[in-house]
Amino acid sequence: MVHLEALLKTTFTVVFIFLLAISNSFSQKNSFSDILNANLRSFGPIYEKNNVTGYYFFYEEKKGKSKDKKFTISILDQNLSNVGQKTIEGSYSTQLEEGTYNGDLLAFRVAEHNKKKYKLHLLDKNGTEVGKRELNYGTFDEPRYQEQMGMIGLNEQKLIPVAGKGFLYYSLDTYKGIMSKQYYTITFIPNNNSDEQTWEYSTPKSSEDYEIAGYLASSEDILLSTIVKKRKLMSKKVEYFVMGTDINTGEKLFEKKLKSSKYELLITNAQVGKENIKFFGQYYPKDSKVIKEASLGLCTFTMEMDGTTNDYKYLSWTKDFKRLLPTNKKGKINDVGYLYFHSFVKTSSGDIFAIAENYRKTISAGGTTLQVLSGGKSGSSASKVVVEDLYVLEFSSDFEIKNMKIIEKSKHDVYLPPGASFYGPQVLSLIVQSYNGFDYVFTQQEDDLFSVGYVDFEVRKKAKNGLVYGAVNYLDGELTTDKIDLSTDATELRVLPAKTGYIAIWEYFRKDKKMDIHLERINF
């Protein structure tokens, strides 16, 4: 279910990819040794507006015979030179969970699982700590439950940057134990870390529902969160809402159920303007179980700042997309399956580009796990999801379909955990995303230029098969493509956005206890 990506998809799922390293030498690079353990989800770019100006990452260092742990947070500039560093000491149960940057400060969430505590460390761009506070630690934060939630696609990023303001933290807990009613809490921590400006908003105690909240979008004045509700723990009837909150005070402004007079809705993306909010998503039959149903098509609508909705527009798979994507009555695209939408990009002309990958469920004969792209988290199952091509759909400013470009990739299998074969296409897409099963990496935009990155294992004729980084670039109204060959003996790799015209390649060599990063040019 696409809107749940904003709600559930973002914890610290480890990115295991079997790729790796650039064959050509490059002058802009850096290397780190004595790395005991590195989680490649712990790396991230530092942005000034839309421009990458540096990187942060943290890792566990080798520390002699001591039983204590030593973590290092390193900060690099856009040319990969060291500009700052911070060391955090910890015990056997200490774990650096995630980090992010909001344009002013870096924030790192550190778990002390033996004490059932989270600490938030606030650092400037030189690595100097400027603040610290405790965060909520609930039942689902215990390591045994984190792993179980990850197996069914319920991992999420909890720490959200708010440009120029501070950070948001989304937590989930229960009142009396794992089977009791669950509730969410949204915490805002300002850049100055003052208690006066920090606020919390939680599920009202009068609520009779099990509720989960997640970040959707924000502006200088408003925070949009997705809210999922169900009356009983095992209930299959789920309701979806958008909640608006004053981001400066935490005051609830509105809570709107995601439905129209004709259809049920799921939200993919929200763009907050000065006067209203534009939503993009998919629509479903009226009163249907969205968690199991295939969508009827794409939709968009406008919401005023008081929660009033208008300007609904629907694009049907069977009618509007007929010339581009032949689809059956159940919303399944012939020979393709379903589309999972990663991002929406809006240009200054008002045109909208949607980035998606196709996937479909099939029966697995062997039930073998796909270790490379899933990070070894898949269990043996009789079912699997096949992921194949990348789709770039172009819409006019009034949401009329204009064109579509298909970038062919080699298909690969993502094996599902036991019981997942009974889920609908939206939940299956979340599981694939949780396992890092899609090839999409990121979308980077600067003015009317944007670049979509993906990885692919190419099957070649009369040449050795190999991994590539692919880019789909939009410039001067035209879409172009480029590829970079990747080959390495590294244990793990991640591709990140870089300064305009480049990508950053991170590699971890577990046997040698070292980590490398270098820049590679892409062509526009």
Q: How far apart are CA 37 and CA 60, in angstroms?
A: 5
**Which pLDDT value is given to residue 378?**
41
Q: How far apart are CA 331 and CA 284, in angstroms?
A: 10
**Which pLDDT value is given to residue 302?**
93
Report mean pLDDT in 10-residue bins for the chain, 524 residues: 36 24 50 78 75 84 71 89 87 82 90 92 90 91 73 65 93 84 94 94 91 91 92 78 95 91 88 90 86 86 91 91 76 78 87 92 55 40 84 92 92 82 79 86 84 87 80 89 84 85 88 90 77
Cβ-contact 120, 189 below 8 angstroms: yes
**Which pLDDT value is given to residue 517?**
92
Return the beta strands (E) in 247-382 as ranges. 252-257, 264-272, 276-284, 297-304, 309-316, 338-346, 352-363
Cβ-contact 479, 473 below 8 angstroms: yes
* Residue 297 CA, distance from chain mean position: 22
Cβ burial 328-352 (10 Å sphere, 16+ → b, else e)? eeebebeebbbbbbbbbbbbeeebb
pTM of the model: 0.81
Structure tokens at 255: 């809570």
**Which pLDDT value is given to residue 374?**
38
Tell me the domains of the chain and their CATH numbers.
4-521 (2.130.10.120)
For 468, residues 6+ apart whose C-beta sits below 8 A from its C-beta are 455, 456, 457, 458, 483, 484, 485, 486
Structure tokens at 135: 């965060």
For 80, residues 6+ apart whose C-beta sits below 8 A from its C-beta are 28, 29, 30, 55, 504, 517, 518, 519
Q: If you write DSSP's letter for every residue of 440-483 in order, what string do you get?
A: EEEEEEETTEEEEEEEEEE--TTS--EEEEEEEEEETTEEEEEE
**Which pLDDT value is given to residue 524?**
64
Strand partners, 493: 507
Q: Is 362 exposed, middle or buried (0-12, 13-18, 19+ CB in 10 A)?
A: exposed
Cβ-contact 353, 345 below 8 angstroms: yes
Cβ burial 5-15 (10 Å sphere, 16+ → b, else e)? bbbbbbbbbbb
Q: How far apart are CA 288 and CA 315, in angstroms?
A: 18
**Which pLDDT value is given to residue 349?**
83
